[in-house]
Every structure is written in structure tokens, then in C-alpha cells.
Amino acid sequence: MPGVEKWNWENAAAGALSGFSTVAILHPLDVVRTRFQVSDGRGGSYLPLYRNTAHAIYSIGRTEGLRGLYAGFYPAVFGSTVSWGLYFFFYSRAKTRYIKGSDQQLSPGHHIAAAAEAGSLVCLLTNPIWLVKTRLQLQTPFNQNHPYVGFSDAVRTIFKEEGWRAFYKGIGSGLFLVSHAAIQFCAYEELRKIAVNIKGRRERTDAKNDDEILNSFDYAILGGASKVAAILLTYPSQVIRARIQQRPSSDGIPKYLDSWHALSETARFEGARGFYRGITSSLLKNIPSASITFVMYENFLKLFKVSQKTDSARA
């Protein structure tokens, strides 16, 4: 497939644009999810106790205003834009390498390998951004620590107080979450094949490629369904990572020392339910998020392809 590799920059650009759009629309639910994830329900925390997602949004809006609902927005936008851009770029490159000139479709195993490879690289490059985002989202008026004043101040303060290694807290859980992306993209690719086959037979279309068969509604359903599967299977790792990435108390002692400590403490005091705290807000945020991301990604990619074909025809 000689034409596949030249689309890599378009994949990156489409992924970055879709990631930015998604965060801008759904960020308040991400704040709520993060606060639920680190709340162990035992009290003694600087975080208020929320009854449910609606109560959390209402409480944050009432006590902290719009600024509270959009806490950590800038690193979230930056991180999501960079992450999705890099992810689609690395994913596209990996698929191209696995195809190796063959006209046959990739197997589910190849899709998982490509997704895992892309996810690992993105995780290593962006973990510092997500740590800062988590810290900013957990800031409330009740914090005992001196608050971070924005993204750059958070970076400087973390480096000064905790050193560069602090930026890679939760990297182990983050790398485990690579399986989340692998599951999501494998599910998306396989569901996409099924949708193309079903619509192609039903409509008896003469379309030569998937772009002419599937529409935005199809991409939305495929993106949302693949995200649900990934969330249900990997959500506990997200909870563990969020808990590890919390800011240490005013005396400099972190609540959880490492992933194993967070895992054992959560299991001991909260049971299985503790590993799924915030999953409602996560689903409410991530199902439409994934739908929007894949719809915009596929449509941006179509626009880039059309634009390049037009430029080639003019040349």
C-alpha cells in the first residue's frame, strides 16, 4: 500500500484537532471524574464528599465557579491535543509497518500490537502533562498546600518541591493503561469492518473504500461502543494512577507510596467498589468524547485527503 505512509501527518493533525475539540466540550465531567477517583469515602480529605455526578457539578459550580469546573483545562487541552495527535501518528505508522505492502486487512492481533505500541510511546511522552492536570483538578478552596497558580507555576513548584521524578508518578499504571487504548482501537477497527460489511451488503453500494460507506453517525456509534469496552475493562488502573498522582500533604508525605500501596489500601478499605469510583462521570464524559473524537478524526482525515487530491489534480 504505497499511499498509506504519506497520510501520517494527516493522521496526526486530524487526531490533534479532534482531541482539542473533545476536551473543550466535556472538561467539567473530567474534573468530576478525577475528584471521585481519589475520594476514598473515609473523610479526612481536603476534597468535599459528592453524592453523585450531578451533585458534584452543582457543588463545584456553586463553591468554585466556572473556574473550578474547568480546573486543569489548559494542560488537559494541551495533553489531549498532543496525545491524540501523537497516538494517531504512531498508530498509523505501526499499521503501515505491519501491512508491509500487503493488500490484506490487518488482524485483531496486529491492531492490538499497533495500539499498544502507540499507547506506550504516548504515555512516556505525556505523563508529566497528565500529572499536572490531575493536581490542578484536585485543587479546592480547602487545600492545605499553597495552591498552584496555573500550569507553569505547577510545573515549577513540583520540580522544586519533589524533583523531576515526580512528573512520572503513576507511569506504571499509565503503561498498564496502554491496554485501554489497545482494546479501544482493536474494538473500533473490528466494529468498523463489521459496519462496512453490513452497510455495503445492505445498500449494495459500489463504493470503493470505507469513507464512501460510513457516515458521521456510524463513526459516533463505533467510537462510543469501543470506548465502553475499554473503560469497563481497564478503569481500576485509572483510579490507581489518579491516587498516586495526588499532591503530597503539607508535610511532604504522599498518601500513597506506589501503585501496590494504592491498590492494597483501596482494596482493604473500599473493596471492589473503590476501583470504580467516578465511573459514571467517566462514562458520561468518555462515551460522547470518543464519539466526537472519532467523528472529527475521520472527517478531518477526509478533508485532508480531498484537499491533497485537489492539489495533485491542479499540479
Could you give the CA distance from residue 228 to residue 244 in angstroms, rounded to a whole number?
24
∠ at Cα 28 (70, 74), nearest 5°? Answer: 35
CATH class of 5-314: mainly alpha
Residue 277 CB contacts under 8 Å (≥ 6 apart), including other chains: 36, 37, 39, 41, 239, 270
What is the overall mean pLDDT for the chain? 83
Q: Residue 204, class by beta-carbon neighbours within 10 Å (0-12 exposed, 13-18 middle, 19+ buried)?
A: exposed
Could you give the CA distance from residue 243 to residue 266 in angstroms, rounded to a whole number?
10
Confidence tier at 126 by pLDDT (50, 70, 90): very high
Which pLDDT score, from 0 to 100, does residue 205 have? 55
Other beta carbons within 10 angstroms of residue 297's beta carbon come to: 24
For 222-259, b/e burial (b = at least 16 CB within 10 A) is: bbbbbbebbbeebbbbbbbbbbbbbbeeeeeebbbeeb
Domain ranges of the chain: 5-314
Does residue 51 sit in helix, strand or coil? coil
Grid cell in block for residue 61: 459550580
Could you give the CA distance from residue 241 to residue 254 in angstroms, rounded to a whole number?
13
Other beta carbons within 10 angstroms of residue 294's beta carbon come to: 25
Nearest to 302 by CA among 209, 237, 235: 209
What are the pLDDT digits (tens) for 150-207? 899 999 999 999 999 999 999 888 877 777 777 888 888 888 888 888 887 776 655 5
Nearest to 180 by CA among 220, 228, 218, 219: 228
Beta strands in the chain (DSSP E): none
Is a pLDDT exceeding 60 seen at residue 7?
no
Confidence tier at 2 by pLDDT (50, 70, 90): very low
What are the pLDDT digits (tens) for 50-75? 889 999 999 999 999 999 999 999 99
- Please tell me the number of Cα atoms within 13 Å of 13 on its side-chain side: 12
